[in-house]
Every structure is written in structure tokens, then in C-alpha cells.
Structure 1
């Protein structure tokens, strides 16, 4: 596990942490990434997305009412100041123990307040021999939240997609790694910008990159 401690001034649990979540059998997630709704806000139809929000009560998840996703242009120059609405996560996915384990791993690692909202984005990026897929079309950015968790579920027939963390947009990355399935990268959004390289297929066929991105606060409003 790679970890950088936070400054005492901010009193956060960490700056970034990379960990393997051994309690999760990734095969249980994979069916839920098939036939997902295409993200209507991105040109090119290379990204599919669902989104729900939760709080944690003890060892249980409480699903909150759905809402729209909003970031300012300060954080998202591509799609900022736009109310974005996405389909919610599948109820059968939410009921899985492995899903609960993922959200609890995020909450526990970030030492979240019991009433803290957690947004869970389910995202698939696809690529083909003729078109790459971009996990971060907005470029090097922050999300405008406190904590971010990026959990790699599957990398199917792809190359690229390396995740980078930066202390400033014009600086060299302080962390660069392809997140292998089962790895969870936790990031203090106040301290780092992040980005992921586009993906391309390894063979003459379609490729896909499946991830969950968790944030707290959720950035959802009713």
C-alpha cells in the first residue's frame, strides 16, 4: 500500500492511498457493466455511466433520493455549470455484499463522518481500432469534492488508461500507475489534480475499461 500523510493544517486522513480490496470478487460486478446507458453529455458515445448516492450507517448502506450531478466550470471546464442527470445504479448491484464492501472500504479509508454523502459513479469507457476512449475528457482536473476513490473493476483488451496525480496542472505527476482490477486509489481532492490517459485496444477488436468512482460529498442535489 502506497500512502502519503496529510499536513496537520488540513487534518485529513491522507493525501493519497493505493490499496487492494481483497474482500471483493470482481466477477460479481462485471454483468452490471454490460448494456449501460450511454453518457449523453459526452460526444463520441465512448462512455457509459450510472450514478447513485448513499450514506453509511454502521455496516449498512442507505440509498438517498436521486438528484442531478453538478460541478462548476472552475472544476470541470468541459461540462461545468450544467445539471447532468444519469440513471441510477441497478438495484441488484446495490444489494450485493461486494458493492457494500467497496463503499465501506472507501468510507473507512477516508474516515468519513457517519452522515457524509457518498456518490458512486459506475463508468465504462470503450475503445475500438478506429477510436480511442478518454476516461478524463476534461483534462487534468479536480472534482470539487473532499475525497475521491477510483476502483478498477476490469480492463478488457486495452492498453493505456494510466492514472496520474499532480500537485498542480503544469507540474509533472507525483503518482502514475495503471490501476489493476481490484485496486482502489483514494485521493484528497483538495490537494491533487488527477487525470487518466486515453485507452486503445490491444488487438483488432473493441476494448473496455470498467471503474467505480466514489466521491464524498456526492455533488448531487435534489
Structure 2
């Protein structure tokens, strides 16, 4: 029986950007990559019953520069997408009897010529 407080949200499985379904799977887009924008802002909206989701920023040679996990709402990371690569580890469900979610707002900026 789930001992987590009810949140009114129950997406235990989500559709990932490359069509993979399920938690603990990492889509190709979330491995070390540059998104092709000038800047990328990633802000945590909320997460519950989640482990993983560790973000890593890499040099252009793909050497890790720093790693961190966004754990509190409104925490964010802002990267110059032309100078670094970035990625995130798989997101796993802590307690299988409770709903799980990790909501991240991603805002990109691309300079118009």
C-alpha cells in the first residue's frame, strides 16, 4: 500500500522524446549532447518519488565538468549550448506503489541572423 500523500497526479510511466516508454530508460537526446541552441535553461518544476535525474555538464571534448541533481522546485541550470554539452541520467521510481513524476521546464534560445 502506498504511504505517499496523494497528489492528484499518477503518471507512473511517461512517453519519452524518442518514443521509448517507461522509467529508468534514457532517450538518446538525454545522453551527453548539445541541443543546437545558443542557450538552454532547464528548471525543475517538481519531482516526487524519484531517484536519478543527475545532470552533467561536459566540455566540448565531452569531459565531465560538473554534476548535480535538481531536487527543489525552481532550481535551474543555464548553459551556453555552443560551449558545453549536457546530459541527464535515467530517472527511476523510488517506491513502486506510489505515483512518480519529474517535471522539468526547458527553455531554449537561438539567435536569429
Give me the TM-score of the superposition, normalised by structure 2: 0.73
- Summarize deviations over 1:174-220 as a string: whole Å, max 9, x none: 121101221111100111100000011111234221010000029xx
What does 1:1-222 correspond to in 2, within 5 Å?
38=15, 42-46=18-22, 127=23, 132-134=24-26, 136-138=27-29, 139-171=31-63, 173-180=64-71, 181-205=73-97, 206-217=99-110
Q: Where does structure 1 lack aligned partners over 5 or more consecutive residues?
A: 1-29, 47-126
- Summarize deviations over 1:85-126 as a string: whole Å, max 9, x none: xxxxxxxxxxxxxxxxxxxxxxxxxxxxxxxxxxxxxxxxxx
When the two chains are superposed, the root-mean-square deviation of aligned CA atoms in Å is: 2.6
Structure with the greater alpha carbon radius of gyration? 1
Residue of structure 1 in register with 2:3 after alignment = none
Give the CA deviation at 1:169: 4.8
Greater helix proportion: 1
Q: Where does structure 2 lack aligned partners over 5 or more consecutive residues?
A: 1-6
Residue of structure 2 in register with 1:62 after alignment = none
The answer to whether the Cα contact below 8 Å between 2:34 and 2:86 also exists between their aligned partners in 1 is yes
The answer to whether the Cα contact below 8 Å between 2:25 and 2:90 also exists between their aligned partners in 1 is yes
Runs of 4+ in structure 1 deviating by more than 3 angstroms, as ranges, are none
Give the CA deviation at 1:140: 0.7
Rounded Cα–Cα distance in structure 1 between residues aligned with 2:68 and 2:62: 19
The answer to whether the Cα contact below 8 Å between 2:32 and 2:62 also exists between their aligned partners in 1 is no
Higher relative contact order (CA closer than 8 Å, sequence separation 6+) = 2
The answer to whether the Cα contact below 8 Å between 1:152 and 1:211 also exists between their aligned partners in 2 is yes
- Summarize deviations over 1:37-74 as a string: whole Å, max 9, x none: 956x623334xxxxxxxxxxxxxxxxxxxxxxxxxxxx
